[in-house]
Amino acid sequence: MKQDHRSERLETLLNTYNKLADHAKDHRNPSLYDVLMMVVQNHFDDVEGIPDNILIAAIFMMHAIVHDLEEDNYIDRGLRKLRVRNRFDEVLDVVNTLYGLIFDVTGPRDRTVHQEILADARQLLEELGIDELQPMPTERPYRMFLERLDELDCDITLLDEVEGLCFELFDFDVPGHMELIYNLILAYPFAHGAMTMFLDNTTSDDQMELSLAIIKAFQITHPETVLNPPDDFYDLPYHNEYLLALENLGFIYRDMGEFEKAVETYQEALRCDRQDHLHIKEALLLPYIYVGDYDAAYAIRDQLEEHSLYATYFDLYDDLIWNRPIYESYNYAKGASPLIMEMLAEDIDLFDQASEQERQFINDFYDLFVVEPELIEQIRLVHNEDIKPS
């Protein structure tokens, strides 16, 4: 029985690994698969409780560090393929756990590395005119980034140095690293990539100013690619951070009911990333509906995969508001996500059980149904008929 469980876990891990196999295929000795097998064979019981995507992400990060692949967004793009970029701290904790298991140490960091990075940070701060660290304000901490962007001229030659040092402080968890990073950005507010480190730990009230600062800093440092976005915009170093900031700002506007601003922001993201790596088209459906631009919403719908989650539930909503029979669209939508249909029809909170895509849909589109009780009632009638014992 234990061997069967081991085989089943290995199969699910390999399925998750396959999402990254092509991304990491050029880097061998060891390969990503080699590192995965070493962990599974030697420490299977120790990693039993770690979710598959988090474990594979941690193994991927270890593999990237071994091959010195920490530049050009290599790690970032890998984490996004696993949809765990917003769980970076959790992944990093597992990396440290794995280092402890493999090397019988408490982690990959040591005091010497910390001291070297701290010395580099303090030297750079002095060169940028910061003699004393400024504590991070408790209220509107990112307003200063926007103000400094208006005050300073951009020395583009410093961008890579400041960004690189900020990420070293963060990745090696140097004591007091967030305060140091904050001060480095105050001194050089064009470091848009470093600013994104604050997104996951920022209150919703402060996210707008931070997102605006990231967007403005990127537009200052990369005017040509913003004006004429290349086809590989997303894959260029730090360019996906611009898209993430636009996505985040669009969500904030949408949450505030500023749907026209949300549309403008999302459209800018799509203009730069025509391949739509962040699924902005799906996020645009709700704002288009609220501003009354149904033609644009239908145009987006026609670009989605036919029986995808967003397409099927949009079709269901469309049938409901135009008083068309919903039996067919109900079945397609339920097929795409029985969980969301159960949430709508039975008024059950199943968010914790939802997949990453389902959670994104709930954030993007779910409220459109629940704010109109008569729509829910029609869904409930069909649903009750559907689940009635034959």
Flag whether pLDDT at 143 surpasses 90: yes
DSSP string over 73-121? THHHHHHHHTT-GGGHHHHHHHHHHHHHHHHSSS-S--HHHHHHHHHHH
Question: Which CA distances in Å does 319 have to 65, 334, 375, 382?
Answer: 51, 15, 10, 13
> Residue 105: pLDDT above 60?
no
* pLDDT greater at residue 317 or residue 107: 317
Answer whether residue 76 shows pLDDT above 90. Answer: no
Structure tokens at 122: 């303090």
pLDDT reported for residue 207: 92
Q: How far apart are CA 228 and CA 222, in angstroms?
A: 10
For the cut 50, the answer to whether the pLDDT of residue 251 exceeds it is yes
Which of 24-28, 139-143, 164-168, 261-265 has the lowest average pLDDT?
24-28
Section 204-216 average pLDDT: 92
- Average confidence (pLDDT) over 327-343: 95
Q: Is the pLDDT of residue 79 over 90?
A: no
> What average pLDDT score do residues 348-370 get?
88
Please report how many Cα atoms fall inside a 13 Å half-sphere around the Cα of residue 307, on the Cβ side.
8
Q: Could you please report the per-residue DSSP string of 323-380?
A: T---HHHHHHHHHH-HHHHHHHHH----GGGS-HHHHHHIIIIIHHHHT-HHHHHHHH
- Predicted local confidence at residue 82, as pLDDT: 80
Distances (CA, A) of 330 to 189, 213, 348: 50, 43, 18
Res 69 pLDDT > 60: yes
Mean pLDDT of 258-268: 97
Q: Rounded to an integer, what distance in angstroms lies between the CA atom of residue 220 and that of residue 283?
A: 27
Tens digits of per-residue pLDDT, 216-230? 999 999 999 999 999
CB 67 within 8 A of CB 28: no
Window from 47-61, 63-77, 128-142, 304-318 with minimum mean pLDDT: 63-77
Q: What is the pLDDT of residue 108?
A: 46
> How many CB atoms sit inside 10 A of residue 137's CB?
12
**Cβ neighbours for 147, distance < 8 A, ≥ 6 positions apart:** none
Percent of the chain scored above 70 by pLDDT?
94
The tens digit of pLDDT for each residue in 293-329 reads: 999 999 999 999 888 899 999 999 999 999 999 999 9
Question: d(Cα 234, Cα 48) in Å, to the nearest integer?
Answer: 35
- End-to-end C-alpha distance for the chain, whole angstroms: 37
* pLDDT per residue as tens digits for the range 20-60: 777 777 776 677 787 788 787 778 888 888 888 888 888 88
Q: What is the mean pLDDT of the chain?
A: 87
Q: Nearest-CA neighbor of 149 among 179, 180, 184, 185?
A: 185
Share in percent of the chain as helix, strand, coil (round to 5): 75, 0, 25
Q: What is the pLDDT of residue 390?
A: 59
Cα–Cα distance for residue pair 249/268, rounded to 1 Å: 11
385 or 171, which is more confident: 385
Q: What is the pLDDT of residue 106?
A: 40
- Residue among 291, 277, 205 nearest 247 (CA): 277
Alpha helices in 23-66 (DSSP H): 32-43, 52-66
- Residue 66: what pLDDT? 75
